[in-house]
Structure 1
Amino acid sequence: MMDRFGALLIWILFGILDWHSMAEGTDCSKPPDFSTLQTCCASPTMTFEAFKSQCGKYMPAGSPRLSPCLYECIFNASNTLDGTEINVQNARNMMQKILGNNQGFTDAYTEGLENCSNFVDEMMKYSRRRPPALPGVEVCSSLPVLFAMCSQKYVFVHCPPASWTNSDACEHSKEYSLNCQSTKQSRGGSSHRVG
C-alpha cells in the first residue's frame, strides 16, 4: 500500500506535467521576479481590530504577528466556516470588517474564499498529522490559514482593475500564476489557456 509521501510525490509529478501541458503561450521556464509581486496589486491594509474583543489574546502588542490561532479565532468569531465549508455571507461580513469600505477587495477576497474549497481539501488530505500537543500548548486548526493563503493568491489574479499595475512584469506574473502552477484552481485558473 502506498504511503502518504508516495501519493504526494505522484500528485506533485502530475502537477508538474500539468504545468507544461496547460501553459500554452506562457513561458513557464521563467518564473516571475517574486520581489516585485507586491507592487502589482496595491492591496489595502487589513485590520483585525473588529475582532479584538474575541481574539485579542492572539494579537500581541507591537509588530503584527499572524498565527493559525488568530485566523481560527477570527473565522470562528465571524462564523465564516461551517465545518469545512465557507458561509459566503459571513465571509463577506468578515472581509468588510477587515478591509473597511473597499468593495472591490471585499468582493475579490470573498470570491477567493468561496472558490478555495477544492484547494483546501487537497491540502488537508496531504497534510501531515500533528503530534499530540504538549501540555499547556494550544493547537489551532490550519484550515482558516489555508483558506486565507488561497484567497490571497486568488486576489492577486483577480485584483480590482484600479489597484492593478499594468506592467510587463505584473502581466507575466499573472499569466504565470494562472497557467504554470499546479494548483491553478486556487488562483482562479482553469484547465484551459487564459486568452
Structure 2
Amino acid sequence: MATSHNLVAFLLLGFVFSPFVIGQTIDCQRPPQLVDPSLCCRDGGRDQNAEKCAERIMRTANGQPNVAPPSLDAATCVAECILTTAQYKQHPTTLNLDVIRKDLAMKFSNDSAYVEAMTSAFAKCEPQSQRRLAAIQQLNPQQPKCSPFAAIVLGCTFMEYFKNCPADRWTQSAECELAKTYVTQCGLGA
C-alpha cells in the first residue's frame, strides 16, 4: 500500500509539480525529467493522520490494501481526510492557521525552522487554493466525491516548502538546484 509520503508526493506531482532534467534550459512549457522533491528537501517525516487516512481510503472493495497508485479521486479524498482529521480545515475552503501552527509546533518541537516554513506555506497557499478551486468549479460545476480544495492546498503547501526549504533540510545537488529553479521560475506553488 502507498505510504502517506508517497501519497503526498502523488498530490504534489498531480496538482502542481512537473518533471526535470539536468542540462536542459528551463522552459515552463516543456518541463524536464522528474526529480523526487523529498530527495532534495527532507520533510518532517511520517504523519499518523496521513497514514490512517491513506490506509482507510486506499483499500480495495474487498477491504484489502490497494497497491496500485491512487486515482485522482482517491488522492483527493485522502487529502480531505488529512486536513479534516488534523482539524486544519476550518470551513470547506478555509484553513485554521492557529491550529496548524500549534499542531506542527507540538509534533516538531525541536525543529522551529520546519514549523515556520510549513506554517508560512499553508498561509500563502490558502488564498491561491481558494482561487484555483473557484476556477475548477467554474469549468466543471459537477461536485466530485471529495472537494479538491484540500489536495490543492497540500500540493501548493509542499511546493512552497520545497521552494523555501530550510538550509539544514536541503540537499545540494545539480538536480535539486535545477528543480528549485524550475518551480521558482515557472511559478509553481502559490
Residue 38 of structure 1, CA deviation = 3.8
2:41 corresponds to which residue?
41
**Residue segments in structure 1 that go unaligned for 5+ positions in a row:** 1-26, 134-138, 187-195
Over 3 Å counting, the alpha-carbon distance change for 1:36 and 1:67 in structure 2 is closer
The correspondence for 1:115, drawn from 96, 116, 124, is 124
Over 3 Å counting, the alpha-carbon distance change for 1:86 and 1:143 in structure 2 is same
Aligned-partner SS, 1:93: helix
1:130 corresponds to which residue?
142
Over 3 Å counting, the alpha-carbon distance change for 1:56 and 1:38 in structure 2 is closer
Residue 43 of structure 1, CA deviation = 2.4
- CA offsets, 1:50-89, max 9 Å, x none? 985x997436575786633333233233332233222212
Residue 125 of structure 1, CA deviation = 2.1
**Residue segments in structure 2 that go unaligned for 5+ positions in a row:** 1-24
1:71 corresponds to which residue?
79
For residues 9-158 of structure 1, the aligned pairs below 5 Å read 27-29=25-27, 31-35=31-35, 37-49=37-49, 52=52, 57-58=56-57, 60=59, 62=65, 67-83=75-91, 84-95=93-104, 102-127=111-136, 128-130=140-142, 139-158=145-164
Aligned-partner SS, 1:79: coil
Residue 45 of structure 1, CA deviation = 2.4
1:175 corresponds to which residue?
181
Query: What root-mean-square deviation, in Å, do the aligned CA atoms of Structure 1 and Structure 2 show?
Result: 3.5
Distance 1:70 1:100 in 2: 26
2:6 corresponds to which residue?
none
* More divergent stretch after superposition (99-108 vs 155-164): 99-108
* Contact 1:80 1:87 (8 Å CA) reproduced: yes
Distance 1:159 1:122 in 2: 25
Q: TM-score, normalised by structure 1?
A: 0.60
* More divergent stretch after superposition (153-162 vs 163-172): 163-172
Over 3 Å counting, the alpha-carbon distance change for 1:105 and 1:32 in structure 2 is farther
One-letter amino acid matched to 2:128 = F
Distance 2:183 2:34 in 1: 11
Percent identical: 21
Residue 177 of structure 1, CA deviation = 1.2
- CA offsets, 1:125-154, max 9 Å, x none? 2212225x7xxxxx2222111110100100
Over 3 Å counting, the alpha-carbon distance change for 1:119 and 1:43 in structure 2 is same
Q: Which has the larger radius of gyration?
A: 1
Q: TM-score, normalised by structure 2?
A: 0.62
